[in-house]
């Protein structure tokens, strides 16, 4: 396989950004783990064996849940690069009849796999799958568990920053005794409002901004930890043995079991490794590339060529040519046997191939480009190669494709609305017409996330009254 520096640089950039999102929450746990573990009655048990036992509990919690559970097991159960509770539920609904709505199609499994080739033999159905498919109540329970898990992730995302920031700010009280608890809470609130105000910038910018801060923090606590181990107490390495966990519970008893809530705080943010998987996979590279339209044109051209060659093969020799197509390339746009690609700084509408676009749309597009010069990109123009041996029907179809590309691309996206019926209760109207509407208007829509120009967007949807 040819080594690509562009892919390597993209992967390194995603790894760098992951420090600002994934590891930002996980690495702040040392701020409050020991404080919350030895709170209350546990303050009476602060001897060496108990402290070693708490350290052993934290170490093995890190090993079993983030390392073994998430990295080795959960991260391999992604939904085409997407992670999270709903991604797992969507994956289950496509491979089994778990959905409460009859939306499963026969080709859903192959369509979502992005694989070109012969259909694989289906695996035998498991007894658990057949059992869940027969009982609607169990499928309802499964959906409730999914919703409950999503709510827990949202709750963790709201509560954990408050604990982390308040614990970090409380360190100022040690250096400056004049600060009161009320002033610390006010300072933490100001920082939290500022942090949440930055969320509208998107994961890409937020991760890029916070990554160096998290890296400095990780290097700092690593250096301080190594210094303390070497200079003060090298015996702490003995706590890696699970034997100290037994000593911990034998000495603390019931208080030790209650303190496990503080130990659990050491893995807060671990779910971000899976929930934010879609931001740091190969799919995110393709999303950030910005050349999806050009790659799509090249893929369609290759698909046209493939269809022209298909009748030359028998069904036994080429069973994989079943008319499916997938866009998988993440390399820069290059010329191929079907089309020749050339880059230009900007091509006006008058220079492009004549299309069916009206004069009104042309003037609107020109006005949009004048108002948004910062998002102009290098224009990629496709031309047919001078190949006299090309089939006339293929050449005609490719010419139509090039003309369609020059005419412009329109994005059709679904955009449905939900409203309460007139006969609904006041509580339902308050939740749907005010609460849900507020969240919908203040959340980044798909068109904004995908950077789709408003002039090229067509929204199609329905209003549902519930």
Q: What is the C-alpha to C-alpha distance for residues 221 and 373, in angstroms, rounded to an integer?
A: 45
Q: In the structure, what pLDDT confidence band is assigned to residue 244 with cuts at 50, 70 and 90?
A: very high
Task: State mean pLDDT over 214-237.
Answer: 92
Higher pLDDT, 58 or 110: 58
Per the prediction, the chain carries an average pLDDT of 75
Q: What local confidence, expressed as pLDDT, does residue 87 receive?
A: 83
Q: What local confidence, expressed as pLDDT, does residue 408 receive?
A: 72
Alpha helices, H only, 253-381: 254-258, 260-264, 272-275, 282-289, 292-309, 359-371
In this predicted structure, the answer to whether residue 148 has a pLDDT above a threshold of 50 is yes
Q: In the structure, what pLDDT confidence band is assigned to residue 237 with cuts at 50, 70 and 90?
A: very high
Q: What local confidence, expressed as pLDDT, does residue 220 receive?
A: 93
In this predicted structure, the answer to whether residue 283 has a pLDDT above a threshold of 50 is yes
39-91: pLDDT as tens digits: 888 888 888 899 999 999 999 998 899 888 888 888 888 877 788 888 888 88
Q: What local confidence, expressed as pLDDT, does residue 334 receive?
A: 53
Q: What local confidence, expressed as pLDDT, does residue 282 receive?
A: 53
Q: In the structure, what pLDDT confidence band is assigned to residue 245 with cuts at 50, 70 and 90?
A: very high
CB neighbours of residue 215 within 10 Å: 15
In this predicted structure, the answer to whether residue 109 has a pLDDT above a threshold of 60 is no
Q: What local confidence, expressed as pLDDT, does residue 174 receive?
A: 75
Q: What is the C-alpha to C-alpha distance for residues 358 and 337, in angstroms, rounded to an integer?
A: 33
Q: What local confidence, expressed as pLDDT, does residue 335 receive?
A: 52
410's CB contacts (< 8 A; 6+ apart) are: 456, 457, 458
In this predicted structure, the answer to whether residue 114 has a pLDDT above a threshold of 50 is no
Q: Which residues pair with 382 in a beta bridge?
A: 341
434's CB contacts (< 8 A; 6+ apart) are: none
Q: What local confidence, expressed as pLDDT, does residue 59 receive?
A: 92
Task: State mean pLDDT over 435-459.
Answer: 76
Q: Which residues pair with 190 in a beta bridge?
A: none
Task: State mean pLDDT over 154-175.
Answer: 79
In this predicted structure, the answer to whether residue 366 has a pLDDT above a threshold of 80 is no
**Whether pTM exceeds 0.75:** no
In this predicted structure, the answer to whether residue 137 has a pLDDT above a threshold of 80 is yes
CA distances from 225 to 10, 24, 244, 449 (A): 32, 18, 20, 40
Q: Where are the domains of the chain?
A: 5-283, 290-408, 414-465
CB neighbours of residue 93 within 10 Å: 19
Going through 70-137 in order, the beta strands assigned E by DSSP cover none
CB 220 within 8 A of CB 25: no
To 5 degrees, how large is the angle CA 200–CA 169–CA 42?
Answer: 120
In this predicted structure, the answer to whether residue 317 has a pLDDT above a threshold of 60 is no
In three-state secondary structure terms, 412 is strand
Q: What local confidence, expressed as pLDDT, does residue 242 receive?
A: 92
Task: State mean pLDDT over 128-149.
Answer: 86
Higher pLDDT, 133 or 350: 133
* Weakest-pLDDT range from 274-288, 317-331, 404-418: 317-331
DSSP annotation of 32 reads: T
193's CB contacts (< 8 A; 6+ apart) are: none
In this predicted structure, the answer to whether residue 214 has a pLDDT above a threshold of 80 is yes
Q: What local confidence, expressed as pLDDT, does residue 289 receive?
A: 45
Higher pLDDT, 455 or 336: 455
Q: What local confidence, expressed as pLDDT, does residue 231 receive?
A: 92
* Weakest-pLDDT range from 98-102, 126-130, 216-220, 299-303: 98-102
Q: What local confidence, expressed as pLDDT, does residue 375 receive?
A: 47
Sign of CA dihedral 199, 201, 207, 210: negative
Higher pLDDT, 117 or 310: 310
Task: State mean pLDDT over 450-460.
Answer: 77
- Mark 30-64 as b/e (b = at least 16 C-beta within 10 Å): bbbbbebbbeeebeebeeeebbbbbbbbbbbbbee
CB neighbours of residue 295 within 10 Å: 19
* β 457-460/411-414 pair status: parallel
Task: State mean pLDDT over 189-218.
Answer: 84
**Type and span of the H or E element at 381:** strand 379-383
Q: For a pLDDT cut of 90, what percent of the chain falls above it?
A: 13
Task: State mean pLDDT over 8-25.
Answer: 81
Task: State mean pLDDT over 412-434.
Answer: 86
């Amino acid at each position: 396989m040819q080594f690509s520096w562009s892919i390597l640089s993209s992967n390194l950039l995603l790894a760098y950004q992951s420090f600002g999102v994934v590891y930002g929450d996980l690495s702040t746990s040392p701020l409050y783990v020991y404080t919350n573990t030895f709170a209350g009655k546990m303050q009476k048990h602060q001897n060496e064996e108990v402290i070693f036992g708490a350290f052993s509990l934290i170490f093995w919690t890190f090993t079993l849940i983030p390392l073994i559970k998430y990295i080795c097991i959960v991260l391999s159960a992604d939904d085409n690069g997407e992670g999270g509770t709903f991604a797992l539920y969507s994956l289950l609904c496509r491979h089994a009849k778990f959905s409460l709505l009859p939306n499963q199609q026969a080709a859903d499994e192959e369509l979502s796999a992005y694989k070109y080739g012969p259909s694989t033999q289906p695996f035998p159905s498991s007894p658990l799958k057949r059992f869940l498919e027969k009982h609607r109540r169990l499928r309802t329970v499964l959906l409730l568990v999914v919703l409950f898990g999503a709510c827990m992730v949202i709750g963790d995302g709201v509560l954990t920053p408050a604990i982390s920031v308040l614990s970090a700010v409380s360190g100022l009280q040690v250096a400056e005794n004049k600060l009161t608890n009320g002033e610390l809470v006010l300072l933490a609130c100001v920082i939290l409002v500022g942090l949440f105000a930055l969320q509208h910038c998107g994961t890409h910018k937020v991760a890029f901004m916070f990554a160096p801060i998290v890296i400095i923090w990780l290097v700092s606590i690593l250096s301080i930890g190594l210094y303390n181990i070497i200079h003060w107490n090298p015996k702490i390495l003995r706590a890696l043995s699970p034997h100290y966990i037994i000593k911990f519970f034998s000495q603390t008893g019931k208080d030790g079991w209650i303190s496990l809530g503080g130990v659990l705080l050491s893995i807060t943010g671990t779910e971000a490794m899976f929930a934010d998987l879609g931001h740091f996979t190969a799919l995110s590279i393709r999303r950030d590339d910005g050349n999806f339209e050009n790659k799509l044109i090249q893929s369609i051209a290759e698909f046209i060529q493939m269809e022209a060659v298909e009748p030359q093969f028998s069904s036994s020799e080429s069973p994989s040519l079943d008319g499916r197509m997938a866009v998988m390339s993440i390399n820069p746009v290059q010329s191929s046997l079907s089309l020749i690609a050339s880059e230009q700084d900007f091509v006006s509408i008058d220079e492009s191939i004549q299309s069916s676009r009206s004069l009104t749309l042309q003037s609107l597009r020109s006005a949009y480009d004048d108002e948004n010069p910062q998002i102009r990109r290098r224009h990629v123009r496709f031309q047919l190669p001078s190949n006299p041996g090309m089939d006339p029907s293929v050449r005609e179809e490719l010419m139509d494709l090039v003309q369609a590309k020059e005419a412009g691309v329109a994005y059709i996206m679904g955009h449905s609305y939900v409203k309460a019926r007139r006969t609904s209760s006041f509580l339902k109207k308050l939740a749907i017409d005010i609460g849900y509407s507020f969240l919908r208007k203040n959340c980044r829509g798909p068109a904004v996330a995908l950077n789709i120009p408003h002039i090229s967007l067509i929204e199609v949807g329905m209003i549902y009254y519930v």
